[in-house]
Amino acid sequence: MKKLNRYQKLSLVWLVAGLALFAFLVYRTGLRTIASNIKVFGGYFLLLLLISGMRQVLRTFTWRYCIEREHRQVSLWELFKLRLVGDAITDLTFAGPVLGETAKTYAAGEHMPLTFSLSSIFIENLLYSLAVIVFIISGAFVLLGQIALPHQIRVATVAGILALVTPVLVAAWLISRRRLVISGIMHWLEQRNWLPQRIARKEARLKLFESNVYEFYGKNRGAFWLIMLLEVFANLGGVIEAYIILGVTLDVYGWPYAYLVEWMNRVVNTAFAFVPLRVGIDEGSTALTVKSLGYASAAGVSLAIIRKVRTLFWIGVGLLLTAQYTLSPKVVGEEVEDRVK
């Protein structure tokens, strides 16, 4: 049996801790209370699936816009299926986004050169991350305006906002000055004969990948802002979900409350992406958020579980679709790229 590496061991520890926290929260809340809230939610679950499905559709559109025009022969339906497959792998494995995005890269590589598949996925994730940062920053301002916080926490929140703004400014500076980081590092290693042969053989592809990323904004300025708009809408879909769940289960209809619940969800998803399904962590953070808004923490646990059931539905769809794709590294994309050259 293959031994777990350090990263997998850490992820396993977090998973076990998350399962223990999940079990404790369910016990503390009570199965009857959770079942009652889910039963009250009832037919609204179909609406939740529709909204979450629309979020997937929006991100599918953004991915397609991130593909170079000459390689967009792949259909939206195919990209949508690939998104579900990648997300299922991301949510269920210790490797999280690393394995999920790698699977998407190789599967999409059957429709375009592998380098362009990788760069399109990287660009889409980069822009989505930018939209998430904007969302988290805006959520921090909502937090400061809606909840009476101790001075130390207000200072920490402002510091967190500045910490998020900094990488965005650095990335903007690198792109505007065309500072090729990968190429620069490889050139520095080559001069000292420190560049591993395995990487040296892929030097041309790595440089092409980096060039595609840097040139995207210059070649697609109109598409760039459209993509950002769609990514923002994808994030706001989560706010709508929280608004509906809070309204149905708690009879609380307030956009600031829904915004804060989704804000915490985004923070947790970003910080604990390596924990499969964020088991226990989602429930605990949502319970604390709802409690800070003046409501029973049990309602937060129920809210998180309802959303987790929605996630499991899409994971199930993604797993059914995996049979269509070979998720181990293939040379198909490389062969296509060689033919293009």
pLDDT band at residue 43, thresholds of 50, 70 and 90? confident
For the entire predicted model, the pTM comes to: 0.76
Q: Is residue 5 part of a domain?
A: no
Q: Is residue 123 part of a domain?
A: yes
Q: What percent of the chain has pLDDT over 70?
A: 79
Name the average pLDDT for the chain: 77
Q: Higher confidence at residue 159 or residue 340?
A: 159
Q: Is residue 4 part of a domain?
A: no
Q: Is residue 65 part of a domain?
A: yes
Q: Higher confidence at residue 88 or residue 207?
A: 88
Q: Which domain holds residue 320?
A: 10-300+308-340
Q: Is residue 112 part of a domain?
A: yes
* pLDDT given for residue 79 in this prediction: 92
Q: Is residue 2 part of a domain?
A: no
pLDDT in tens, 317-335: 888 887 666 444 444 444 4
How many structural domains does the chain have?
1
Over range 7-18, report the average pLDDT: 55
In SS3 terms, the chain reads as: CCCCCHHHHHHHHHHHHHHHHHHHHHHHHCHHHHHHHHHHHCCHHHHHHHHHHHHHHHHHHHHHHHCCHHHCCCCHHHHHHHHHHHHHHHHHCCCCHHHHHHHHHHHHCCCCCHHHHHHHHHHHHHHHHHHHHHHHHHHHHHHHHHCCCCHHHHHHHHHHHHHHHHHHHHHHHHHHCCCCHHHHHHHHHHHCCCCCHHHHCCHHHHHHHHHHHHHHHHHCHHHHHHHHHHHHHHHHHHHHHHHHHHHHHHCCCCHHHHHHHHHHHHHHHHHCCCCHHHCCHHHHHHHHHHHHCCCCHHHHHHHHHHHHHHHHHHHHHHHHHHHHCCCCCCCHHHHHHHHHC
Q: Is residue 1 part of a domain?
A: no
Q: Is residue 110 part of a domain?
A: yes
